[in-house]
């Protein structure tokens, strides 16, 4: 189901590049008052340096659009999502411009030029998308480019697909209906049983067929495909087991045999793990040297003076692939505190918990109790960013009750994570809250990128300054 949309996306990419070049040249003309040059020299006013700089901006735009998914079809259905991806692309353009400005010290890229270029680029690409959507819709209606789609089968994922196509904003498809053994109460546009397939295709001028058979209907696939060979229609199969697959599945090949990965896991790739590990070592080393060396010493003194017991709290946790490690924290509770109640159940820290010391309350509120975990990062037990490691009793209690719970151990646990900066920090006595935390952890695992990690770090710093109401 790519044909028309792929063509439109290539056209949009081409027009974006035209706007990029236009914005660059206009910013250059205005910022350096080059209008007299244009009158005298025409297109000759563009120098090799300018052509080279435009080429750099173009290359950065192209590759950053891959990272931000700017031209993915899912984004084109939602103008807000597309605008957000556009903003990310232009932010990368800004960073590129700053690097060129300071490293190359080019007179071409003044601060006024850069600001004007980004404003022109942002406004131009936004206006283009509005005009492009209207034009595309008119073309689809007037030029007869819409495609008639027929659904075959009655699987749950097929009915979900039926609703998805029906709600597509640009209306590139006309949903004729579906053919199945029998209709259900929720069925709309039921056109008959499998025996009527030939008649339906011929009568409604079908362009594409989506085969979505359930287990009981799967035996009919051979006969359905034989019928479809008699018509000039495109046939696509949506397996029922896709309901078990995440939105980030991947299709790979093993010796020319297609294999479906149930979920995407970027950090399963060695090169991405090496990049993440390199950042962890660099970031942790700088933090321990520049901050922990004096702040940690000060916190240790206050802990010793304010309450009896050791400076550090140590506890066994599970890391990547369920490997056990010892987690370090500054002690924030009284020495006699217990993690388990009289019935052997794990007791999470709660607001106004009597086990927490007065200074410990401050440490937990500001997350300063977590600072020793940078030592865990250097030891390779943890990462700076990742799902928070839970206590072993909590893992044991949750692994059989919470869906996908153990999948969070596909990656190293982190000092902070996407769930924590999204407001899902603190006690999770309510199972619904814990399920939401796992959802956020899985989103992080499936959508990991270096930029995602940087975003979480900035949000963590901001929450530390502002204070987190769930930190106790």
| 292-308 exposure pattern, b = at least 16 Cβ within 10 A, e = fewer | beeebeebbeebeeebe
Q: Is the pLDDT of residue 112 over 60?
A: yes
Same domain, 221 and 275: no
DSSP assignment of 338-404 equals -SB-TTS-B----TT-TTB-HHHHHHHHHTGGGTTHHHHHHTTS-EEESPPPPBHHHHHHHTTTSTT
Q: Does residue 181 sit in the same domain as residue 112?
A: no
Between 169 and 380, name the one with better pLDDT. 380
Q: What is the pTM of this model?
A: 0.60
Hey, what are 425's tokens? 């920090």
Single residue among 104, 120, 142 that ends a domain in this structure: 142
Both 166 and 134 in a single domain? no
Q: Are residues 230 and 273 in the same domain?
A: no
Instruction: Look at residue 148 and give its three-state secondary structure.
Output: strand
Are 379 and 301 part of one and the same domain?
Answer: yes
Where residue 471 falls among pLDDT bands split at 50, 70, 90? Answer: low
Mean residue pLDDT of the chain comes to: 80
Domain count, the chain: 3
Closest CA to 424 of 413, 409, 435, 414: 435
**Does residue 262 form part of some domain?**
no
- pLDDT number for residue 382: 94
Domain final residue, candidates 142, 158, 189? 142
Residue 3: its H or E element: helix 3-31
- What are 190-226's pLDDT values in tens digits? 888 888 888 888 888 888 888 888 777 778 888 888 8
312-330 average pLDDT score: 91
Measured CA to CA, the distance from residue 52 to residue 29 in angstroms comes to: 17
One domain for residues 385 and 346: yes
- Same domain as 431, residue 388: yes
286 in the same domain as 162: no
The CA-based dihedral angle spanning residues 13, 16, 18, 20, taken in that order and rounded to the nearest 10 degrees: -130
| Confidence band of 170 (pLDDT split at 50, 70, 90) | very low
Q: Are 196 and 288 in the same domain? A: no
Token pair for 11: 């056209």
3-class DSSP state for residue 415?
strand
Instruction: Please tell me whether residues 113 and 240 are part of one structural domain.
Output: no
Structural domain includes residue 58:
yes
Characterize the bridge pairing of strands 250-254 and 257-261. antiparallel
* pLDDT tens digits for range 399-458: 888 888 888 888 999 999 998 888 877 666 667 888 889 889 988 998 888 888 988 998
Higher pLDDT, 303 or 52: 303
Task: Report yes or no on 43 lying in a domain.
Answer: yes
Who's near 178: CB < 8 A, 6+ residues apart? 150, 151, 152, 153, 154, 158, 162, 187, 189, 190, 191
Residue 39 has pLDDT above 50, yes or no: yes
Res 19: pLDDT? 92
- Mean pLDDT calculated for residue range 97-108: 68
Residue 345 CB burial class (10 angstroms; 0-12, 13-18, ≥19): exposed
pLDDT at 379 (0 to 100): 93
CA distances from 130 to 4, 11, 12, 21, 123 (A): 18, 14, 12, 20, 11
Structure token digits, residue 200: 């339906």
Q: Do 206 and 114 belong to one domain?
A: no
Query: Using CA atoms, how far apart are residues 238 and 271, in angstroms rounded to an integer?
Result: 32
Domain that holds residue 170: 147-244
Domain identity same for 67 and 95? yes
């Amino acid at each position: 189901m790519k044909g028309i949309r792929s063509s439109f996306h290539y056209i949009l990419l081409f027009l974006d590049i035209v706007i990029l070049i236009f914005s660059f040249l206009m910013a250059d003309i205005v910022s350096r008052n080059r209008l007299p040059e244009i009158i005298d020299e025409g297109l000759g006013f563009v120098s090799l340096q300018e052509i080279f700089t435009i080429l750099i901006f173009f290359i950065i735009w192209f590759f950053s659009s891959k990272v931000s998914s700017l031209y993915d079809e899912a984004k084109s259905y939602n103008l807000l999502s597309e605008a957000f991806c556009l903003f990310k692309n232009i932010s990368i353009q800004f960073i590129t411009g700053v690097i060129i400005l300071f490293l190359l010290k080019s007179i071409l890229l003044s601060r006024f030029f850069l600001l004007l270029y980004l404003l022109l680029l942002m406004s131009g690409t936004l206006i283009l998308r509005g005009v492009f959507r209207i034009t595309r819709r008119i073309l689809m209606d007037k030029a007869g480019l819409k495609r008639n789609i027929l659904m075959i089968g009655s699987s749950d994922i097929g009915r979900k697909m039926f609703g998805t196509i029906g709600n597509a904003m640009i209306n590139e498809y006309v949903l004729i209906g579906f053919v199945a053994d029998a209709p259900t109460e929720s069925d709309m546009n039921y056109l008959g049983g499998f025996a009527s397939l030939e008649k339906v295709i011929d009568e409604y001028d079908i362009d594409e067929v989506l085969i979505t058979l359930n287990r009981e209907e799967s035996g009919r696939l051979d006969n359905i495909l034989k019928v479809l060979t008699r018509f000039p229609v495109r046939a696509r199969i949506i397996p029922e087991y896709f309901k078990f697959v995440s939105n980030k599945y991947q299709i790979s090949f093993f010796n020319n045999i297609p294999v479906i990965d149930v979920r995407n896991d970027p950090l399963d790739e060695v090169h991405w793990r090496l990049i993440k590990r390199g950042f962890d070592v660099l970031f942790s080393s700088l933090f321990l040297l520049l901050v922990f060396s004096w702040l940690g010493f000060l916190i240790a003194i206050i802990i010793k003076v304010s309450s009896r017991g050791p400076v550090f709290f140590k506890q066994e946790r599970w890391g990547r692939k369920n490997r056990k490690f010892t987690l370090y924290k500054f002690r924030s509770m009284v020495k006699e505190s217990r993690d388990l109640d009289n019935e052997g159940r794990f007791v999470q820290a709660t607001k106004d918990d009597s086990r927490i010391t007065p200074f410990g309350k401050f440490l937990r509120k500001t997350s300063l109790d977590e600072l020793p975990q940078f030592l865990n990062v250097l030891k390779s037990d943890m990462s700076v960013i990742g799902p928070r490691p839970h206590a072993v009793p909590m893992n044991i209690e949750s692994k059989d009750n919470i869906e996908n719970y153990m999948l969070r151990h596909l990656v190293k646990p982190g000092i902070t994570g996407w769930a924590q900066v999204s407001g899902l920090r603190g006690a999770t006595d309510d199972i619904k809250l814990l399920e939401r935390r796992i959802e956020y952890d899985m989103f992080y695992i499936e959508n990991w990128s270096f930029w995602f990690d940087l975003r979480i770090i900035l949000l963590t710093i901001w929450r530390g300054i502002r204070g987190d109401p769930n930190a106790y």
